[in-house]
Structure 1
Amino acid sequence: MNKLPIAVAIPTKNEGLNIAEAVKSVLGHFEAVVVVDSHSTDDTAKIAAECGAEVVMYTWDGGHPRKKQWCLDQVRTDLDWILLLDGDERLSPGLLAELRQVFADPDAPRPAAYDIPLGYWFSGKRLRHGYTIRKRSLTDRTRSRYPEVGDLDAPGIGEVEGHYQPVAETAGSLRNPIEHQDLDPVTAWFERHNRYSDWEAWLEHHPEVKEQVRRVKSRQGQLFHKAPFKPLVSFAYMYVYRRGFLDGRAGLDFALAMSFYRWQIALKSRGVPAS
């Protein structure tokens, strides 16, 4: 079977529970599978190498480029197309088949990037209704780039780009998902989103940077960026409008968790003291 002319880059840090599944989902299907590790203190790099991935180390210097753009600049630059896959993600069989169709003709015209739906798992269950995010994970690096947003001093994000998309000349959409199935305990989800909320709250006090971020978010992200009463709107959108209630207890838990995340951002941005 011919390999897809795409480099898969998997940025990681302490993804020991997840990395094997991520690597196995792409190995043998792509020209290159490279794990870009930020000096993990667990067995992430060792497990990735044992699974057959190439492993390279990344050290952030505190400036641009951040980690994902560094991948676009440095990882197998002999291949124009690069797929960025998080350490807790894996490709679905349907997406692999769809990519083979898209790249069947090497001379066919293609957009500069593809937005891919994210199949999200929460509390051990695949959410079928309430989650609707699409990620611009597949790009032609010669025609796309992550913006250099002025948030280097913001807390909570660090070496990896925040919640915004790479900018591309044109973008298409794929139908089949990347599966986001984090095997870490749910406490890790809350710890991660506590850091994200620090970044979001910082943006509220830096409107010029907030506007930079808004312009490079997805269309859905741009609309939500302007919404008032975000905790309530978030819950109503996910649980009612997108019928998250059909996902049972996991759908309720996720809608509440995301609403709590939005509440954290609002509380932190107001600078309310803890006591």
Structure 2
Amino acid sequence: MSKLPIVVAIPTKNEAENIAAAVGSVIGHFEAVVVVDSDSDDDTVKIAERLGADVVPYQWDGGYPKKKQWCLDNVRTDIPWMLFIDGDERPSPELLSELRQIFSRPVDVAAFDIPLGYWFAGKRLRHGYTIVKRALMDRTRCRFPVLGDLEAPGMGEQEGHYQPVAESVRALRSPIEHEDLDPVRTWFDRHNRYSDWEAWLELHPEVREETRLAKTRQGQLFHKAPFKPLVSFAYAYVYKRGFLDGRAGLDYALAMSFYRWQIGLKTREGLKAREGRRTREERQPRGSG
């Protein structure tokens, strides 16, 4: 069986719990598998190398390009097509089959949007949120946008919650399975950091607008919605029938609603602090000329 003419890039930082499943799902199916590691201090690198992946070290210099764009610029540039998967993701067998059909002939688009099969608290969710990632792209025709968010907390070396810009895009049917084997507290740890970044954007409207334009259509619509925690819960649990996933569906809808509440609370805190600084500055006596 011939390998798909694609390099798989797996950005990692301490993914020892998950990396074996990620690498094992792609080795032998793709032309190259490269783990791009940011100084992991667990067994991520050792496990990836043992399973046959190449490992490339990455150190962020604090500017752009960030990690994924750096991969497009530097990792196996002899192969135009790159598939990004996280350390806790793996392509489904159905996706591998779909990709073999697509790449059996010339490809006429620059990128593909791929749905996520999302797992939460140990259960595969069949309803609720539909998450789509622009994860497969021709590096010669795609690029992650450069935004003015380097002072924002929460994301660091990784690009934020926005999509790479592509000349043309097609949606695939089959999913990447997203199953994090770490304890659920790590989900809350990550989303606490993500909410710092999202709240910073709310306080910097010019950068927020840049980010909105680089999001999916669903993300752009939700960006404008009022009462986001309530809308988030109603959309996922009721409209998208998350209740059919049982307790896991309820837990995930509540967790995402809590994430939106965090963003709103941190934004209001930031606005209050900004107003306080402005008031103190206005009260300071002006020097005489």
Q: Deviations over 1:232-261 (max 9, x none)?
A: 000000000000000000000000000000
Q: 1:109: how far off?
A: 3.8
Q: 1:41: how far off?
A: 1.1
What's 2:99 paired with? 99
Q: Deviations over 1:89-148 (max 9, x none)?
A: 00100000000000012xx24210000000000000000000201100000000000000
What's 1:185 paired with? 183
**1:36-185 maps to which residues of 2 (within 5 A)?**
36-105=36-105, 108-185=106-183
What's 1:252 paired with? 250
Distance 1:109 1:92, change over 3 A: closer
Alpha-carbon distance between aligned partners in 1 of 2:107 and 2:74, rounded to the nearest angstrom: 25
Alpha-carbon distance between aligned partners in 2 of 1:201 and 1:42, rounded to the nearest angstrom: 31
SS in 2 for 1:40: coil
Query: Which protein has the larger Cα radius of gyration, Structure 1 or Structure 2?
Result: 2
SS in 2 for 1:142: coil
Alpha-carbon distance between aligned partners in 1 of 2:75 and 2:98, rounded to the nearest angstrom: 24
Q: Deviations over 1:20-39 (max 9, x none)?
A: 00000000000000000000
Alpha-carbon RMSD across the aligned residues, in angstroms, is 0.8
What's 1:233 paired with? 231
Alpha-carbon distance between aligned partners in 2 of 1:55 and 1:231, rounded to the nearest angstrom: 40
Q: 1:70: how far off?
A: 0.4
Alpha-carbon distance between aligned partners in 1 of 2:184 and 2:219, rounded to the nearest angstrom: 24
SS in 1 for 2:7: strand
SS in 2 for 1:252: helix
Kindly provide the amino acid, as one letter, of the partner of residue 39 in structure 2. Answer: H
Return the structure number with greater helix share: 2
Q: 1:149: how far off?
A: 1.0
Q: State yes or no: 1:34 paired with 2:11.
A: no
Kindly provide the amino acid, as one letter, of the partner of residue 63 in structure 2. Answer: G
How many residues are aligned here?
Answer: 271
TM-score of the pair, normalised by structure 2: 0.93
What's 2:197 paired with? 199
Alpha-carbon distance between aligned partners in 1 of 2:53 and 2:108, rounded to the nearest angstrom: 28
What's 2:17 paired with? 17
What's 1:4 paired with? 4
> Unaligned 5+ residue runs, structure 2?
273-289
Alpha-carbon distance between aligned partners in 2 of 1:218 and 1:74, rounded to the nearest angstrom: 26
> Unaligned 5+ residue runs, structure 1?
none
Q: State yes or no: 1:213 paired with 2:211.
A: yes
TM-score of the pair, normalised by structure 1: 0.97
